[in-house]
Amino acid sequence: MPTYVCSAQAGKWTAEQKQNIAQAIAVNHSAATGAPPNLVHVIIQDVPGTTRFVGGKPEEEHIWIIGYIRSGRDDETIGRLMLSIMRSVSRITGTDEHYVWVYICPIESSHMVKYGKVHPQPGAEKAWFDSMPEHVRAYMERQTPPISATNFLDAMFS
């Protein structure tokens, strides 16, 4: 399930940075939660600067990331996840960590449908994946980030 919506000022990131952000979030989510990275969806929204405000004043520096993930994870795991995403996005974009804001919104697994089935509980992904039609499994396997994407994990420890 996890779906992350990243919002920043329009034109702020290159296509390569967007790809790197998406891979970093997928890999960091997988490392923190154990969920397969090919289940992680990332939406990057380019938002005009005049539509973003903090304290009622226009804001152009901040990056907002809102992650909708399955509930049931402890606060330590969620904290590690948010910090690793913040650090990775900061490094990829050159944005000060203080301006990368990450929010995690837990959702019950039974409250979402993906690939035509109710989403599994954490830890039950393999059985769920194995129950998919062959063409869906093939599609999902193509969505797995390349091994080189794991280099984003060093942001967790820096």
Whether 69 and 140 have beta carbons less than 8 Å apart is answered as no
pLDDT category, 148, cuts 50, 70, 90? low
Residue 154 has pLDDT above 80, yes or no: no
Q: 24-82, pLDDT tens digit by residue?
A: 999 999 889 888 888 899 999 988 867 778 888 887 788 999 999 989 899 999 999 99
Whether 62 and 54 have beta carbons less than 8 Å apart is answered as yes
Whether 30 and 40 have beta carbons less than 8 Å apart is answered as yes
Q: Please return the burial class of 115, using the count of CB atoms within 10 Å of its CB with bins 0-12, 13-18 and 19+.
A: middle
Domain boundaries, the chain: 3-157
Of 70 and 145, more confident: 70
User: How is domain 3-157 classified at the architecture level of CATH?
Assistant: 2-Layer Sandwich (3.30)
Residue 10 has pLDDT above 50, yes or no: yes
